[in-house]
Structure 1
Amino acid sequence: MASARKNLSTYDDSTLPDAGPMTFGVIVADWNEDITHALYEGCYETLVKHGAKETNIHTVQVPGTFELPAAARILAGREKLDAIICLGCVIKGETKHDEYINNAVSQGLVNLSIATGKPCIFGVLTPNTHQQALDRAGGKHGNKGVEAAVTGIRMADLYRNSKVGKKSIGFGN
Structure 2
Amino acid sequence: MQGADKGQARELDGKGLRIGIVQARFNQAVTDRLAQTCLEELLAHGVERRHVRHVTVPGALEVPVALQAMAESEHFEALIALGCIIRGETYHFELVANESGAGVSRVSLDYRLPIANAILTVENEAQAWARAEDKGRDAARVALEMAKLLEELS
Fold similarity call, TM over 0.5: yes
Gaps of 5+ in 1: 1-13, 164-173
SS in structure 2 opposite 1:125? Answer: strand
Gaps of 5+ in 2: 1-8
Shift of 1:45: 0.3
The answer for the alignment partner of 2:52 in structure 1 is 57
CA distance in 2, matches of 1:121, 1:144: 10
The answer for the alignment partner of 1:40 in structure 2 is 35
The answer for the alignment partner of 1:147 in structure 2 is 138
CA distance in 2, matches of 1:60, 1:35: 16
Kindly name which structure, 1 or 2, has the bigger radius of gyration based on alpha carbons: 1
The answer for the alignment partner of 1:156 in structure 2 is 147
| TM superposition score normalised by structure 1 | 0.81
Identity rate, percent: 33
Report matched runs for 1:33-112 at 5 Å: 33-112=28-107
The answer for the alignment partner of 2:128 in structure 1 is 133
| TM superposition score normalised by structure 2 | 0.90
Please state which structure has a larger fraction of its residues in helix: 2
How many residue pairs were aligned? Answer: 146
SS in structure 1 opposite 2:86? Answer: coil
Report the AA paired with residue 118 of structure 1: L
The answer for the alignment partner of 2:119 in structure 1 is 124
CA distance in 2, matches of 1:83, 1:77: 12
Moved over 3 A (4+): none
Report the AA paired with residue 43 of structure 2: V
Shift of 1:79: 4.9
Shift of 1:96: 1.4
SS in structure 2 opposite 1:137? Answer: helix
Q: Does the 8 Å contact 1:119/1:152 carry over to 2? A: yes
Shift of 1:106: 1.1
